[in-house]
Amino acid sequence: MATIRELWQLLRTHRLKRRVRWAFIALLAMILVVVIGGVAVKAHDRQTAVSSSSSSSAVSSSGPSTAEKKADLKKALQTYFDQQTAGGKVQLSLYSLDPKPGSAAAKKPNRVIDGKGVQNVESQGDTKVLSASTYKLYIAAYVFHRLEKKQMSWTLTDKQNFDAMIVNSENGFAQTILTRYGNDTVDKYLQSIGLGQPFSGDSAETTANQLVKVLQMLDAGNGPFKNKALRARLLKDMGKQIFRNGIPAGVKSVDAKAKVQDKVGFLTDTNNDAGIVTTKDGHRYILVIMTTGHEQLDFSQIKAIAAHIQTLIDTNL
């Protein structure tokens, strides 16, 4: 700026031709514009950088979005499921449900887990394996179908035997139904509602995904489970079935106030568990864990898997 002032004094103190003088004045004006403009641009750039930095800090401090947390949970579950099923002796399937009505989760749903199919993860879910007594969920579906059509009696003895089939996993009632109506007839109905043909072989077989599907129907009151009284009876029986060392024990080791309504199956080295989990806050999901390679009634692996799954869910909410 001192140089510009000196030039101006030169113009004033020396006699120059008018045309030359005005040329110098124009040049000085251009220099001033360039200098002042450069200073303004630098100031604006600094302000923009500060603003951008502040904006980035605000986004970072707000944490991941719901969509990101949902994706993180799905990835964590899928990774764990794939690890567990890698040896071919475990089949897993999970399907999230709407939260329990009136619960904290229902009043303020967390879209990371709350809602039908918000989380839908499986590994080896379509692999057909020995069902053991989980097939009794299919028997319940068939019985309810016949009752709805008024094609079967429902005496006090029938009700008691049905309850024993679910609560104690007794075989008598289920075998009576299969003998009376025939495996093919039962399979034909089950296949018509998307549950495959579990009774087509020497031993009942099914998949984790088919067990999830029958529990979806039960939860929603669809298909054979439209009758509210029959549906409530089955859910009540599942809530008090006596073999609770699998999914119930695993979930409750993480969430002591959780509720599990499930049906187990065990035969030789097969141990399976299929149930509906309701956490203390009212989050709900269907979980099916099918295993081979442990002694009959050894649900320790199922318990460990269920506990880890519940921990992953809690961690990512």
Q: pLDDT, tens digit, for every residue of 195-248?
A: 999 999 999 999 999 999 999 999 999 999 999 999 999 999 999 999 999 999
**pLDDT digit string (tens) for 255-293?**
999 999 999 999 999 999 999 999 999 999 999 999 999
Q: Which residue has the higher pLDDT, 217 or 13?
A: 217
- 17 & 102 share domain: no
- With 0.85 as the threshold, say if the pTM is over it: no
Contact present, 211 and 94 (Cβ < 8 Å) = no
Buried b (16+ CB within 10 A) or exposed e, 262-281: bbbbbbeebbbbbbbbbbeb
Range of the domain at 308: 66-316
> What confidence category does residue 60 fall into, taking pLDDT thresholds of 50, 70 and 90?
very low
> What confidence category does residue 16 fall into, taking pLDDT thresholds of 50, 70 and 90?
very low
- 138 & 28 share domain: no
Q: Give me the pLDDT at residue 63, please.
A: 82
Contact present, 284 and 99 (Cβ < 8 Å) = yes
- 273 & 302 share domain: yes
Using alpha carbons only, what angle is made at residue 97 by residues 302 and 261, rounded to the nearest 5 degrees?
45
Domains held by the chain: number = 2
**pLDDT digit string (tens) for 22-57?**
555 555 455 544 444 554 445 455 554 444 444 444
C-alpha distance across the termini of the chain, in Å: 62
Contact present, 289 and 272 (Cβ < 8 Å) = yes
Q: Give me the pLDDT at residue 34, please.
A: 46
CATH number at residue 87: 3.40.710.10
Name the E strands within the chain. 90-97, 120-123, 129-130, 205-206, 259-267, 270-278, 284-292
Task: Quote the tokens at residue 292.
Answer: 């081979």
**pLDDT digit string (tens) for 89-128?**
999 999 999 999 999 999 999 999 999 999 999 999 999 9
- 148 & 282 share domain: yes
- 34 & 72 share domain: no
- 175 & 268 share domain: yes
- 169 & 20 share domain: no
Residue type, 294: H
Q: Give me the pLDDT at residue 56, please.
A: 44
- 146 & 21 share domain: no
> What confidence category does residue 62 fall into, taking pLDDT thresholds of 50, 70 and 90?
confident
Q: Give me the pLDDT at residue 281, please.
A: 98
Give the C-alpha separation, 19 to 13, whole Å. 16
Q: Give me the pLDDT at residue 39, please.
A: 43
Give the C-alpha separation, 34 to 124, whole Å. 70
- Among residues 61, 90, 106, which one ends one of the domains? 61
